[in-house]
Amino acid sequence: MDGAARREGILVLMRHGQSEDNARDLFSGLRDPALTPRGIEEARAAGRALRERGLHFDRAFTSRLRRAQDTLALLLGELGQPTLTVETDAALNERDYGALAGLNKTEARARFGVEQVRSWRKSYKAVPPGGESLAMAAARVWPFFEGRIVPRLTEGASVLVVAHGNSLRSLLVHLDRIAPEAIEEVNIGTAEFLLYGRAPDGRWVRNAEPPGPA
């Protein structure tokens, strides 16, 4: 295939399935809870949904936290790609919630106030005590994406990234060109996946269709 006809690969971003902390409404951050039975089924269902779309991946990336790694393994099993090359990196870890990690969100609101907790959870720049803001998470996620993932896509590979709600939200600020103040309204559900392609002008386009036969 010559350069003019070559298509870049498809990018799929996905949040892990429900974890034990999600089920208990706890701040997780860098804690390492396992998936719940529901989370396991969510991961498998996502794999089946991707298979039904005809997707096949050349490379996968995930964080160093087991809820993301286990989700990816279950998904790849449903896709029939259990031996796919997977790169794990702390750059894709969930944001560090610092002193909030392990707290129930209702208890945190009672202790710190509803608006303060909302700001720590959703805003771009607010820093929870001893933790990371979304902007700080973006400062590690985006360079990793540009340095490790974009080159694979440019080569024509189809890439799957399984990570976390906030590490993915920080990435969407760049991919979807979302204003920092607007990211507060963006939420990614457990085992939800987002499909992207790249437009000729270099913009990332969400809900791109899988490539057809060469």
Q: Which residues are catalytic?
A: 16, 94
- Which residue in this structure is represented by tokens 């392990």? 102
Find out whether 95 is annotated in a ligand binding site: yes
SS3 76: helix
Find out whether 94 is annotated in a ligand binding site: yes
Find out whether 207 is annotated in a ligand binding site: no
Find out whether 105 is annotated in a ligand binding site: yes
Find out whether 124 is annotated in a ligand binding site: no
- Which residue in this structure is represented by tokens 């392609």? 197
- Rounded to whole angstroms, the Cα distance separating 124 from 142 reads 14
- Rounded to whole angstroms, the Cα distance separating 18 from 40 reads 8
- Rounded to whole angstroms, the Cα distance separating 162 from 165 reads 10
Find out whether 187 is annotated in a ligand binding site: no
* Annotated binding-site ranges: 15-22, 28-29, 67, 94-97, 105, 165-166
* Annotated binding-site ranges for substrate: 15-22, 28-29, 67, 94-97, 105, 165-166
